[in-house]
Structure 1
Amino acid sequence: MAQLLSNVCSIQSVVPESYILPPERRPGQQVVPHCDTIPVIDIDSDRNELIQEIIKASQEYGFFQLRNHGVSEELMKDVLVVAKEFFDLPVEEKERFYSEDPNQTCRIKTSIDFAKEKVHFWRDNLRHPCHPLEEHIHQWPENPARYREVFGLYSVEVRKLGLRILDLICEGLGLEAGYFEGGLSHGQTMSINHYPQCPDPTLVLGLPKHGDPFTITLLNQGDVPGLQVLKDEKWVAVEPLPNAFVVNINHMLQIISNGKLKSADHRVVASSNVARTTVASFIRPSIDVVIEPAKSLVSESNPPLYKCFTFGDFTRSYMADTHEGKDPLERLMIQS
């Protein structure tokens, strides 16, 4: 349990050697500019205009920020407060949920895969399923006292919003109505990330370069910066906006759209000034659902770019590729 950063980092005056990345992987002293061009979309816009904005952002960046989305400002703030309270709990309280077993549904861990990594990443993470709510809420932490109440309300509201975005993407791609219902949006996972203050952020990463393996992500990043997106082979910082979600396209959407939409690589940097706590909601397919480019989007002149596979098979290869630093989509591409 001692490896949880939220337990030990307050007494660290230097970065432990096991967290220091090789020079070529460090963020270093480079100043990463805030990106003024990542789209900020108002969901109250005209529907046709809204769809066009979402599709364009998903093609060019794979990311956009969403305002006026219907999740209350109070709930957006409450979920971050409760998340921070969880990571401030005594060691013995968090220890109840600590596990290196990925099959444990509700668990806290440090880094990504602590036991197998050569170098660790500067974050703690609490993750649990949250849909259907009644099947999972009893497994969640009871401390802080408001955890189940606040995260229960939040997970329902964020799922509604995520499904609404998928409906708009469905229409924008010209797919049949309801394409993303059922197996492609079967599950929902809540991922609470905590990036403690770091003695030297130039040596570490909170999360390395990666794309999300699911369908779509809605991130509540609060008011502390740290998220960076790779655009035109350069890192740009995503400026936190009050009461906004950062929405990003995941690998499954890139494949289903036959490459029309982009699952952008991103990473997280640490700070020497303040800890950062974020709440990400992943809408994900069921393990046995078949993933492939939508048949209505492929033709003789626009052949499929990706093979057919099950999501369960992909998750296994995704983890292996992540450990080896490979592009997890490369093995799925059809060679021309």
Structure 2
Amino acid sequence: MTPTLYKSAMEKLLSSWSSAAIYLPENYVFPVQSRPGDATVPFCNTLPMIDLNTAFAGGRQDAVQQVLEACQDFGVFQVINHGVDEDLVIDTMRVVKEFFDMPNEDKANVYSEDPNKKCRLYTSTYDYENEKVHLWRDNLRHHCHPIDEFLHLWPQKPARYGDVVKKYSLQVGDLSSRILELICEGLGLGPTYFGDGLTGVQLFSANHYPPCPNPNLALGLPKHCDANLITFLLQDDISGLQLYRNGEWLGIEPIPNAFVVILGHQAQVISNGKLTSPEHRAVTNSTDHRTSIVYSINPKPDSIIEPAKALINDSNPPLYRAFQFKEFLKTYEVKKDYNEGALEDFKIKA
């Protein structure tokens, strides 16, 4: 790493300077209308919790129905007894925290300001230099499908990182296939509808949120809908993930060994609006480091996204036009509207 890039990493990465911050820097203060404020946010006590063992005990159709209803009503749910090894879940969270706890020199070796790199550590977002307000987070992100094509690009430290995260990625990838099959069945689509074209880009993303001097003014992630197909999010034991529902913010309680499953915009389009992509955000706190691990399922850039033809008829006309996923991503980033407005350019006007 060049001295210039090392200096840039140390100046920007929160994990290199935030512990000494007494006040929140002005370029981390969000506008009044979007900052969290000091209001107490309760946990969402109606968020669906799906126990896959119990669901399948009643027959596959029971599992299909539970997942479909959660995707229609909330667009997000928690899943337990999901088949991903519990010790592996714990160890993956541990090794990710070990990564962020490494000396600055080691983290700087992974740091990059090139958004096209297949593995990089950065702070805030891909567009740090042009942001009006920075996010209070560092992020490690890398590709992981097909896994052996990208494994050599992953962090070399901690030494066991590659072995642990490879096992985790394979198991969560299998879980995503099973959940997507249940969604397909619920929608009346063929079990292989979400094939490689719609799931061929899979990303491992670890968010690190250090203690923040003034969490009422900052955000780890702003209100947004996911641009992908579906997300599998693992929380540690510190709360910070919040869902926007019926005009209010509600916390999503961290539950040991549970995944938070979140539908993205592409699932909403493919289902022709039958499923919903929920708005959510990440808030900070003043005392604890918080870590979340995201496994993101994305279409390949050239894949065509459109309402499934099996769902279209005279009484259910298509709500969205066909488009390539890369077109959506370009619009998503250029407009910088990360909520429902991201789909406006793709809606069929009456």
> 1:199: which partner in 2?
213
> 2:153: which partner in 1?
139
Matched, 1:9 2:34: no
What is the CA deviation profile of residues 237-287 of structure 1, one whole-angstrom value per residue up to 9, with x for unaligned ones? 000111100001111000000000000010000011201011100011111
TM-score (ref. length: structure 1): 0.98
Gaps of 5+ in 2: 1-8
> Equivalent residues in 2 for 1:178-197 (5 A)?
178-197=192-211
> Equivalent residues in 2 for 1:95-110 (5 A)?
95-110=108-123
CA 1:53–1:110 in structure 2 vs 1: closer, same or farther (change >3 Å)?
Answer: same
Matched, 1:18 2:27: yes
Q: Distance in 2 between the 1:90 and 1:321 partners? A: 37
Q: Distance in 2 between the 1:307 and 1:69 partners? A: 35
Answer whether contact 2:223 2:339 (CA < 8 A) is retained.
Answer: no
> 1:286: which partner in 2?
300
Q: Which of 207, 213, 226 is the equivalent residue of 2:240?
A: 226
Q: Distance in 2 between the 1:92 and 1:323 partners? A: 36
Q: Distance in 2 between the 1:85 and 1:149 partners? A: 14
Q: Which of 253, 277, 285 is the equivalent residue of 1:239?
A: 253
Q: Distance in 1 between the 2:105 and 2:19 partners? A: 17
> Equivalent residues in 2 for 1:1-336 (5 A)?
1=9, 2-44=11-53, 45-46=55-56, 47-112=60-125, 113-322=127-336, 327-336=341-350
Q: Please tell me the residue identity of whatever aligns with 1:36.
A: N
CA shift, 1:297, in A, is 0.4
CA shift, 1:323, in A, is 6.2
Answer whether contact 1:190 1:282 (CA < 8 A) is retained.
Answer: yes
What is the CA deviation profile of residues 165-205 of structure 1, one whole-angstrom value per residue up to 9, with x for unaligned ones? 00010000000221001201112100100000011100001
CA shift, 1:325, in A, is 7.6
Answer whether contact 1:77 1:222 (CA < 8 A) is retained.
Answer: no
Gaps of 5+ in 1: none
CA shift, 1:92, in A, is 1.7
> 2:4: which partner in 1?
none
Q: Please tell me the residue identity of whatever aligns with 1:9.
A: S
Answer whether contact 2:207 2:293 (CA < 8 A) is retained.
Answer: yes
CA 1:182–1:324 in structure 2 vs 1: closer, same or farther (change >3 Å)?
Answer: closer
Q: Please tell me the residue identity of whatever aligns with 2:199.
A: S
TM-score (ref. length: structure 2): 0.94
CA 1:326–1:263 in structure 2 vs 1: closer, same or farther (change >3 Å)?
Answer: closer
Query: The residue matched to 1:122 in structure 2 has which SS?
Result: coil
What is the CA deviation profile of residues 283-319 of structure 1, one whole-angstrom value per residue up to 9, with x for unaligned ones? 1111111000000101111100011100011111111
Q: Please tell me the root mean square deviation across aligned C-alpha atoms, in Å.
A: 1.2
Q: Distance in 2 between the 1:325 and 1:166 partners? A: 23
Equivalent residue pairs, number: 336
Answer whether contact 1:321 1:327 (CA < 8 A) is retained.
Answer: no
What is the CA deviation profile of residues 86-124 of structure 1, one whole-angstrom value per residue up to 9, with x for unaligned ones? 111111211122122211110111111211110001100
CA 1:326–1:16 in structure 2 vs 1: closer, same or farther (change >3 Å)?
Answer: farther
